[in-house]
Chains A and B, each alone.
Chain A
């Protein structure tokens, strides 16, 4: 202890002597006489010590997850314990260790970037301000135009471009980008200040006495702008720490799992409501650095400028107290609670017509034209607006919709769709066979920028028509007014499922014969709802189609669909009764609802028809070796992800359970560390886990996108692969860059891939992603560049096989090939929690289309019995007396 104290005293003495050398004796004495400045220096020294020693002293590896831990009841990572003093981050890594490691990078980048920015800015500013209006005014003008140029440069675009150019950035590059883009504000401010100072009496007096510009700048201007600069620098330190994290999202940051304070803050965002400590800890660290810097700055200024230095009274460090109080307030806040369901339990059981259903989605709707839309969120809306010839019933069986019946002829090479009588479009026109032909030709027209036209290349004459060589699609024939025959080039088991997609939905005659993307027509179909109003970036309002062919349907008057609403906002609105149904909850909020007894019976998890996997490029070293691919397949254990987050299900096979297919009693593959090590040895890279010696010698890039779930998965897989001697480096890039890189030949060795089913059929998972036909040099959909004759043959047979059991047997074989040759390692399927208020009735889960509101009705009595929303003042009173009003109020 005495040794440590002696060292501390020595360090303090060294700091003093350094300051004395820098400021001169007098100023240094004044600085150290100021208790406020001493405290500031102490804070900065403590942070520096934390950054320097923390990583050495603290027992935890900042990048190692502790999977022995478990989420708390609210789906948030565990809190403080004796093992983890501050608890862990969302990946169960020690929070304190990550803070300490993050301190190094965050503090050094922020301080140096601030110094560069303010230094450069003040140089330019003083030079411009001093020359303004003098003979050297041209310099002022030139410098200010330079500032204009830098300011006018599109920052976002610029930084993205730099990110792409330098590839993976290190701390040095980040420092340069932040420093070189951040100086303009300081320059303009300092110039304004200098111009004003240059008019002051003391400057004029100095000039009258014959002082030169340099003398004035150094002796008179510099001391007077020091305060402004320090003020600027103080706020800039915190900003720079945050900006580093923002750069990470633009592809120009230090890559995970490396911790920085800014990134820790951002990764904690979803947990603001359930584990605020995750936000408070890095936030407090940043604030401490800023306050320490502020106090030192104040002290320096007082020391340099004795005129204003009558401040060094000992006083309460109110700023630190406030910061501490804020920390306690945030960190100590109880986890948020959810309000109980709104409205009484329903009374009537017969559907009632009327009412508006209010729902929301996180994404924005960019087109409602069924020939162009190809995303999940728009799909749910189009389901209600555009009825199809055939569709899926609740259990996932194909059933006729606008067609009265569908018959297969010529051994499945011709399908005849007989239309219902009296089906009317939203504009009143009656559906005829010609409308079906026109709608199909409209979607596949050579001038239509269709995202899915090639899915219909089995139709006779498709190639000629789509190329523009034929005026009509020969394979689609009208048989009178009420029937359409579609001829296929060969029997095709995927044809009818593809007819359920929105691309093939009949549209009104007013929608025309071709889609002019630049001049869209209003959406108009024959579904139960018509689009009444569509405000871009706000909402889509659907109203009942009075001419809908099913009498009495739909029950609802209207559906109000808010677009682009964040998950948390949706939750609040749902609790307030502004939304009737919700499915976009964050994982931790979902857990919050599941933990609430009033909601746990109502909630329902829906597994999405999406599979995520690691692709392994079979053409590129080291995964051109089968044993290496198998080693990855055995080493990765996606069940660890299930421990971290509630919003996913680990997947041990290609086909998610929600897709009908071969029986899935046995897992396709099991996590097996011993076999993974065996495969490593077989590949020629034996690895000894005890010593950590051996393994694959190189470091392999893993490409993914900076999406919260996929990033977490990648960081977990990185740890798991390291255990068998495969060292990977994460490369998180923006989505367009990701798509460009993984689809280029011989570019990415491994990375994330995901696929959402277009329709519930096994072929839709294998053919687009793993068949050799999907390989291209550029824009390949087969990211693994996997090519296997047997596999291709099985897929081809499955594609035409009409008999269900024989088909499924073929896809069981396909799955076995993927298991054995491991071009993909399936990892997880996301899931969402669906909730709806008690008065929402008739919402039935559809096996295929989710959400599907066709049969929904509202119980007006149950809805009206909901307590009138409390006024703001009542709530304020509730908050002030500490009564969680929302729980006490509303009747059950």
Chain B
């Protein structure tokens, strides 16, 4: 137990190190990217005198090392335990335990603290990610099970083509197709948006979640089918069948349990990627999540927001893989018995 805890701590330390590295790298990249943040802020038609003025107001005219030093000095600093909304000094800070402040600065274009934007948008992307993942798992595992059970039949072929059709189609084809049929022709769901009431909100979630679900389920279906193929030949399955277990029961209870680790691996990777924003889907369905904001930040050369979104998405991915390792230990007791 102590070893496991130590392991977890070490991994967390590594995650923090990685986050710091990513912050530095992305800050450096924002400095090196061609394009002038001040120009992007004032628009293409502003005169060069106005660009110069705005650059000065935002202190973008300082040398890069000075800006980096300023950013880093503010990034993590001690401060009041309660976030004082009134004082301008800490308005852009997120307050952690023991009064540790995380200051990601202000977004140039949103004109808001980056931490506030992340706080507002991250739960929405996370929500969409979880919903999409559930659809993917439900659809993928079911189809994979059927394909495995009916391996080498027409069912298998049909599932192969259906899932591969989903996976090889670009997002807009699936998304716009679903929107056309479910929202426009049938009028069952709202076209887009986030909704204002809880039920509206849930209904709005369906289309983007379904789009991502259909897109992603192919991989689960293929993997489940492959995993079960080799498992079905094994002795314990044969025993279970011989003991009178139905085909379905054997598949689900005995075989699927043993295929959970690869599924969990895929799911964790997918969750990490989805939580950092599904760019196209969010835009199609006007889902106000991290993905759209990330693209916008890059498009606008919105430096603080670029670093903020990048920091968030890499943290999401690292945490997802960390969670996977914990889950893997729980799923497969054999992995625990090994080791030093």
Q: Is the CB of B164 within 8 A of A768?
A: no
| Per-position 1/0 for B122-154, Cβ under 8 A of A | 000000000000000000000000000001111
Which residues in B have their C-beta under 8 angstroms from that of A196?
Answer: 258, 261-262, 332
Question: Which chain B residues lie closer than 8 Å to A518 at the CB level?
Answer: 88, 91-92, 106, 111, 113
B214 sits at the interface (CB 8 A): no
List residues of A whose CB falls within 8 A of some B CB. 132-133, 137, 145, 147-149, 151-154, 156-158, 160-161, 164, 184-185, 188-189, 191-193, 195-196, 199, 224, 227-228, 230-232, 234-235, 237-239, 241-242, 245, 262, 265-266, 269, 272-273, 279, 283, 286-287, 290-291, 294, 307-308, 310-311, 313, 315-320, 322-323, 326, 364, 366-367, 374-375, 446-455, 457, 466, 517-520, 536-538, 562, 564-566, 568-569, 572-573, 575-576, 578, 734-737, 739-741, 743, 755-756, 758, 768, 774, 776, 779-781, 869-872, 875-876, 879
Looking at the complex, which of B51-59, B63-71, B75-83, B239-247 is the stretch in contact with chain A? B51-59
Given contacts A152-B317, A157-B306, A736-B33, contact A758 B45 (CB under 8 A): yes
How far is A446 from B57 in the complex, measured between Cα atoms in Å? 8
Q: How far is the CB of A786 from chain B (nearest CB, A)?
A: 16
Contacts of B54 in A (CB 8 A): 449-451
Residue contact B157 to A315, C-beta cutoff 8 Å: yes
The answer to whether B46 and A879 have CB atoms under 8 Å apart is: no
Query: Would you call B283 an interface residue if the criterion is a C-beta within 8 Å of the partner chain's C-beta atoms?
Result: yes
Q: Check B205 for interface membership: any CB of A closer than 8 A.
A: no
Residues from chain B with a CB closer than 8 A to the CB of A538 are 193-194, 286, 288
* Residue contact A239 to B306, C-beta cutoff 8 Å: no
Is B313 located at the chain interface by the 8 A CB criterion? yes
Judge whether A875 and B338 touch: CB under 8 Å: no
**What 5 A-B pairs come out closest when comparing CB atoms?**
A736-B35, A238-B168, A319-B161, A451-B42, A311-B152
Q: Which of A228, A313, A573 contacts B152 (CB 8 A)?
A: A313
Are A451 and B165 closer than 8 Å at their CB atoms? no
- CB of A235 within 8 A of CB of B164, answer yes
Q: Is the CB of B262 within 8 A of A228?
A: yes
CB distance from A615 to the nearest CB of B (A): 13
B118 at the interface (CB under 8 A from A): no
B310 interface hit (Cβ, 8 Å) = yes
- Give the residue of B167, B168, B262 whose beta carbon is less than 8 angstroms from that of A192: B262
Contact partners of B21 in chain A: CB under 8 A? 149
Tell whether B281 is near chain A: CB-to-CB under 8 Å.
Answer: no
Q: Are B88 and A519 in contact (CB under 8 A)?
A: yes
Q: Is the CB of A307 within 8 A of B161?
A: no
Report B291-306 CB contacts with A as 1/0, cut-off 8 Å: 0101110111100001
For the A-B complex, the count of residue pairs with Cβ-Cβ distances under 8 Å equals 323
A228-B226, A518-B106, A876-B186 known; A154+B313 contact, CB < 8 A: yes
* A-chain residues with CB within 8 Å of residue B169 when the two chains form the complex: 283, 287
Query: In the complex, A308→B57 CA distance in Å?
Result: 70
**Chain B residues numbered 160-180 whose CB sits less than 8 Å from any CB in chain A:** 160-162, 164-165, 167-170, 172-173, 176, 179-180
Task: Report whether A734 and B35 are in contact in the complex, using a CB–CB cutoff of 8 Å.
Answer: yes
Chain B hits for A287, CB < 8 A: 161, 164-165, 168-169
Closest to A768 in B: B47
Q: Contact: B111 with A269, CB < 8 Å? A: no
Please give, as numbers and ranges, the residues of chain B lying within 8 Å of A195 by CB-CB distance.
261, 332, 335
Contact of A779 among B36, B58, B279 (CB under 8 A): B36
Closest-by-CB residue of B relative to A285 is B168
Which A residues touch B33, using CB under 8 A?
A: 160-161, 164, 736-737
Decide yes or no: A137 and B14 within 8 Å by CB, A157-B306, A192-B261 being known contacts: no
Is A756 a contact partner of B45 (Cβ separation < 8 A)?
yes
Contact across chains for A189 and B172 when beta carbons are under 8 A apart = no
Known: A374-B43, A735-B299, A737-B35. Contact between A228 and B185, CB under 8 A? no
For A869, list chain B residues within 8 Å (CB).
Answer: 187
Q: B261 — which chain A residues lie within 8 A by C-beta?
A: 192-193, 195-196
CA distance A153 to B313 in the complex (A): 9
Flag if A322 contacts B299 (CB, 8 Å).
no
Q: Does B211 contact A (CB under 8 A)?
A: no
Contacts A193-B262, A242-B170, A536-B288; is A366 near B161 (CB within 8 Å)? no
B248 contacts the other chain (CB 8 A): no
User: Across the interface, do A449 and B53 meet the contact criterion of CB distance under 8 Å?
Assistant: yes
Query: From residue 289 to 334 of chain B, which have CB atoms closer than 8 A to chain A?
Result: 292, 294-296, 298-301, 306, 310, 313-314, 317-318, 321, 324, 328, 332, 334
Report yes or no: B229 in contact with A308, Cβ–Cβ below 8 A. Answer: yes
Q: Mind listing 18 A-B residue pairs with CB under 8 Å? A: A148-B18, A149-B18, A154-B310, A156-B298, A158-B29, A184-B269, A228-B227, A272-B173, A279-B173, A318-B154, A322-B162, A366-B109, A446-B53, A450-B54, A466-B53, A518-B92, A566-B286, A879-B186
Does the CB pair A776–B48 fall under 8 Å? yes
Instruction: With CB as the reference atom, state the residue of chain B lying closest to A269.
Output: B172
- Nearest CB of chain B from residue A30's CB, rounded to whole Å: 14
Known: A148-B317, A566-B284, A879-B186. 19 other contacts (CB 8 A): A160-B33, A199-B334, A224-B230, A228-B226, A235-B218, A265-B170, A265-B173, A269-B176, A283-B169, A283-B170, A287-B161, A294-B160, A316-B157, A317-B157, A449-B58, A451-B43, A736-B300, A739-B39, A779-B52
Closest to B219 in A: A235
Across the interface, which residues of B come within 8 angstroms of A565, CB to CB? Answer: 192, 286
Task: Look across to chain A and name the residue whose beta carbon is closest to the beta carbon of B285.
Answer: A569
Instruction: Give every chain B residue within 8 A of A164 (Cβ-Cβ).
Output: 32-34
A-chain residues with CB within 8 Å of residue B29 when the two chains form the complex: 157-158, 161
Which residues from B are CB-within-8-Å of A294?
A: 160, 164
Q: For B160, what are the chain A residues with a Cβ–Cβ distance below 8 Å?
A: 291, 294, 319
Separation in Å of the B62 CB from the closest CB of chain A? Answer: 16
Q: Which of A148, A273, A466 contacts B14 (CB 8 A)?
A: A148
Check A734–B299 contact: CB distance below 8 A: yes
**Separation of A238 and B22 alpha carbons in the complex (Å):** 30
B340 within 8 A of A: yes
> If A196-B261, A538-B193 touch, does A235 touch B106 (CB 8 Å cutoff)?
no
Write the nearest CB–CB distance from A664 to chain B, whole angstroms.
23
Tell me whether A374 and B45 are in contact in the complex, defined as CB-CB below 8 angstroms, given that A231-B223, A279-B173 are known contacts. yes
> Which of A188, A454, A518, A875 counts the most chain B CB atoms within 10 A?
A518
Whether the pair B298, A160 counts as a contact (CB closer than 8 A) is yes
Q: How far, in Å, is B166 (CB) from chain A's closest CB?
A: 10
| Min CB gap B108→A, angstroms | 8
